[in-house]
């Protein structure tokens, strides 16, 4: 089975690529770090050709040096290109890495309507990043309705590397409430 992994050079994508290879999938990587750009439909289409599945992670995460235009261009138009390429290649399924930021509650923007959170909780994204992921999820839903190709949208709340975990551990020891302030 052949899988296209966009964003395979990133923190999560590199782990997914290694895991898929362990499971004997053939992985086609697609990352700007290697010169492959999801904003270019033709190159996404070429990469998806012959693939059975797509794991779509390539995105801008809304860091301060990224403009709203860049985020929308990469996250929304890029996802659209992935979907078009998936239809062209007739893949079986697309796994899309959305974000918990679609909910618009995780950084204290508002309190949840109810707990525990579930997939039916309404979304109130306010940041460009959160809105881009929310709209990309909607694109996936409409794409599945029109093509019958399955899309699964995941909403990770926070995936960190060892340095960040170490920072969180040391801050938690010094000041247990730091994780909730200034947000909740």
Ligand X SMILES: NC(=O)c1ccc[n+]([C@@H]2O[C@H](COP(=O)([O-])OP(=O)(O)OC[C@H]3O[C@@H](n4cnc5c(N)ncnc54)[C@H](O)[C@@H]3O)[C@@H](O)[C@H]2O)c1
What number of CA atoms fall less than 13 Å from residue 111's CA on the CB side? 4
> CB-wise, 63 or 180, nearer to ligand X?
63
CB of 78 to ligand X, least distance (A): 6
Buried residues in 128-147 as b, exposed as e (16+ CB within 10 A): bbbbbbbbbbebbeebbeee
Tell me the C-alpha distance between 143 and 131, whole Å: 18
Residue nearest to ligand X (CB): 10
Question: Which of residues 9 and 151 has its CB atom nearest to ligand X in the complex?
Answer: 9
The least CB distance from residue 148 to ligand X, in Å, is: 24
* Omega before residue 116 within 30° of 0, cis: yes
Between 31 and 137, CB nearer to ligand X:
31
Nearest-approach distance from CB 167 to ligand X, in angstroms: 14
Binding site for ligand X (CB under 6 A): 6-7, 9-13, 31-33, 36-39, 57-61, 74, 78, 97, 99, 156, 158-159
């Amino acid at each position: 089975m052949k899988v296209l992994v966009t964003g395979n050079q990133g923190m999560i994508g590199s782990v997914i690529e290694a895991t898929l290879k362990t499971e004997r999938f053939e992985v086609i990587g697609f990352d700007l770090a290697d010169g492959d750009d999801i904003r270019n439909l033709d190159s996404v289409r070429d990469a998806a050709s012959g693939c059975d599945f797509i794991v779509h992670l390539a995105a801008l995460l809304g860091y301060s040096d990224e403009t709203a235009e860049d985020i929308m261009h990469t996250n929304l138009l890029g996802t659209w290109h992935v979907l078009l390429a998936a239809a062209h290649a007739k893949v079986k399924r697309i796994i899309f890495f959305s974000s918990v930021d679609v909910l618009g509650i995780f950084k204290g923007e508002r309190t949840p309507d109810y707990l525990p959170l579930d997939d039916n909780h309404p979304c109130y994204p306010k940041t460009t990043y959160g809105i881009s992921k929310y709209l990309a999820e909607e694109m996936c839903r409409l794409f599945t309705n029109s093509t019958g190709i399955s899309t699964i949208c995941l909403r990770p709340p926070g995936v960190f590397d060892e340095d960040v975990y170490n920072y969180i551990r040391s801050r938690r020891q010094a000041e247990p409430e730091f994780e909730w302030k200034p947000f909740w």
